[in-house]
Amino acid sequence: MKVIFDTDDEGYITGYQQAFWDGEQWQTPFDTTDAVDLAQIEVDKIVLGASKLVNGAIMVDQVKLAEIAEADKPQPTAEEEIAQLKADNATMQSALMELSDFTFSSMAGGNS
């Protein structure tokens, strides 16, 4: 199949169009002058923003893929962040109290 790519400044695929051979001619909504021939299995590998065409094959950059996944994660609301900070604060206060109790009991036991 013929495929034409839109890429960013780094060469990552940001969009594409594809055409199909109907046995007589290419069925395509675009000029195929700059298109490349790719098998469907290669087209299926495309991850927008994380894929490049390298030597006629689609290569997925795992680092970019992870960045995209991280960017797509839902961000916590302000209320959720406040709740998490309160929970973290309570945990630290509890740990500090345990440490204080341990220190004072050690000091008291050492002076006896």
Q: Which helix (H) or strand (E) holds 79?
A: helix 78-111
For the stretch 33-53, pLDDT in tens is 888 989 989 999 999 999 999
Rounded CA-CA distance 16/31 in Å is 13
What does pLDDT average to in each consecutive run of 10 residues of the chain (112 residues)?
90 88 73 85 93 93 92 86 93 89 72 52
Residue 17 in 3-state DSSP? strand
Neighbours of 51 (CB within 10 A): 23
Biggest alpha carbon–alpha carbon distance for the chain: 100
